């Protein structure tokens, strides 16, 4: 019998013997809010299908991961890794739990790669505010949308905090969560995986702009360093994709919410929380600023559902696998229908 461990904004995690079951829901999340007011029909099935397909594809390229198999239409089974959460203490996060180099646990970093700079990317703005960060990234000038990063540009942010914050190498070093050689391996793995996925996507006309991965520490090797393997999930919630200029990822939902008053309040609430040294920005947004996310309308829900299903079908066909959804769920039809919403 499976034991529920965690209910996330998008997926639920169950203990299944020695492994974990990732059960994908039809829920969605944007801008760090967590669960949003609507559900997107068959999104969970599409995410499970995509995760299985992507992990299988990467295994063929020699990339190790926690993935075992797809066990249900909306679920995959993965190897279990521990999640060691930092403690919030005196206004800062304490990562001392990582001091003794634990194994078989999540690396507490979100690893972001960029091949192209998409609309709404945070990098340009951050570099304008802090030009010294150029040196950190090995750049000579602030890039614009004409730049293509080869190999992909890699950054790291926090993963287990209420609001993600980008980190420099020095900040990561001071946190004592990962050896420098292990961090370099994370960067190389991220670049390799990004290029593998770019080749797959381009085979059916989809452009990969950027994305994020998560890794876990494996066993210690003869070198004294720990092995690393890919964990969590891979899909349009983790990758920024476009098809014929239209956003074919969670960016589609972000663009729907970006013009709303709630989105503006989220940014204000995060600033207020930072000023006050607290991490409860959502409470500030809802209770103090009186803003919560609006519901999607029927057409927006239908187009979001078709997006996820069409992408799953296209990836399956590119890998010569059976398509998980009806043949009408394809990118050509989605692109024709979604134009009025963007």
Query: Per residue in 234-293, pLDDT tens?
Result: 999 999 999 999 999 999 999 999 999 999 999 999 999 989 988 899 999 999 999 999
Mean pLDDT value across the chain: 95
- Does position 2 have pLDDT exceeding 90, yes or no? no
Tens-place pLDDT, residues 41-58: 999 999 999 999 999 999
- Does position 197 have pLDDT exceeding 80, yes or no? yes
Predicted pLDDT of residue 120: 63
Predicted pLDDT of residue 163: 78
Helix 180-202, helix 43-60: angle, nearest 10: 110
Tens-place pLDDT, residues 118-143: 666 789 889 999 999 999 999 999 99
Predicted pLDDT of residue 145: 80
Cβ-contact 49, 316 below 8 angstroms = yes
Predicted pLDDT of residue 194: 98
Predicted pLDDT of residue 227: 97
Predicted pLDDT of residue 91: 83
Give the separation between CA 301 and CA 160, rounded to whole angstroms. 30
Give the separation between CA 133 and CA 27, rounded to whole angstroms. 36
How much is the average pLDDT of 324-332?
Answer: 96
What is this structure's pTM?
Answer: 0.92
Predicted pLDDT of residue 1: 73
* Strands of the chain, DSSP E: 3-7, 11-16, 19-24, 67-72, 75-79, 87-89, 92-94, 105-106, 109-116, 148-158, 166-167, 206-220, 226-231, 239-243, 246-247
Give the separation between CA 304 and CA 281, rounded to whole angstroms. 27
The CATH topology of domain 3-341 is: D-amino Acid Aminotransferase; Chain A, domain 1 (3.30.470)
Give the separation between CA 44 and CA 16, rounded to whole angstroms. 19
Predicted pLDDT of residue 307: 97
- Does position 21 have pLDDT exceeding 80, yes or no? yes
Which carries the bigger pLDDT value, residue 212 or residue 146? Answer: 212
Which carries the bigger pLDDT value, residue 333 or residue 90? Answer: 333
Predicted pLDDT of residue 119: 66
Share of residues in the chain with pLDDT > 70 (%)? 99
Cis peptide before 332 (omega within 30 of 0): no
How much is the average pLDDT of 291-299?
Answer: 97
Predicted pLDDT of residue 164: 85
- Does position 342 have pLDDT exceeding 80, yes or no? no
Share of residues in the chain with pLDDT > 90 (%)? 89
């Amino acid at each position: 019998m499976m034991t529920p461990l965690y209910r996330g904004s998008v997926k639920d995690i169950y203990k299944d013997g020695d492994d974990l079951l990732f059960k994908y829901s039809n829920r969605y999340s944007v801008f760090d809010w967590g669960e949003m007011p609507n559900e997107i029909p068959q999104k969970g099935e599409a995410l499970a299908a995509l995760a299985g397909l992507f992990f299988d594809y990467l295994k063929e390229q020699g990339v190790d991961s926690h993935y075992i198999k797809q066990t249900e239409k909306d679920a995959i089974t993965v190897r279990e890794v521990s999640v060691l959460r930092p403690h919030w203490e005196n206004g800062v996060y304490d990562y001392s739990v990582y001091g003794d180099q634990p194994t078989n646990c999540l690396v507490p970093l979100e690893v972001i790669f960029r091949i192209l700079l998409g609309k709404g990317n945070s990098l340009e703005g951050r570099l304008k505010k802090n030009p010294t960060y150029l040196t950190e990234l090995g750049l000579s000038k602030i890039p614009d949308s004409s730049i293509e990063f080869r190999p992909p540009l890699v950054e790291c942010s926090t993963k287990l905090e209420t609001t993600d914050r980008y980190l420099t190498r020095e900040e990561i070093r001071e946190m004592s969560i990962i050896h420098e050689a292990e961090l370099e391996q994370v960067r190389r793995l991220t670049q390799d995986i990004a290029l593998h996925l770019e080749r797959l996507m381009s085979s059916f006309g989809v452009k990969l702009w950027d994305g994020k991965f998560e890794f876990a520490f494996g066993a210690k090797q003869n070198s004294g360093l720990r092995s690393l393997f890919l964990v969590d999930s891979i899909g349009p919630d983790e990758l920024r994709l476009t098809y014929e200029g239209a956003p074919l990822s969670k960016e589609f939902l972000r663009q729907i919410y970006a013009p709303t008053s709630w989105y503006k309040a989220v940014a204000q609430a995060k600033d207020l929380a930072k000023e006050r040294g607290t991490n409860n920005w959502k409470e500030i947004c809802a209770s103090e600023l009186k803003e919560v996310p609006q519901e999607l309308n029927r057409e927006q829900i239908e187009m979001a559902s078709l997006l996820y299903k069409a992408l799953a079908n296209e990836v399956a066909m590119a890998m010569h696998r059976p398509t998980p959804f009806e043949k009408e769920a394809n990118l050509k039809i989605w692109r024709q229908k979604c134009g009025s919403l963007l």
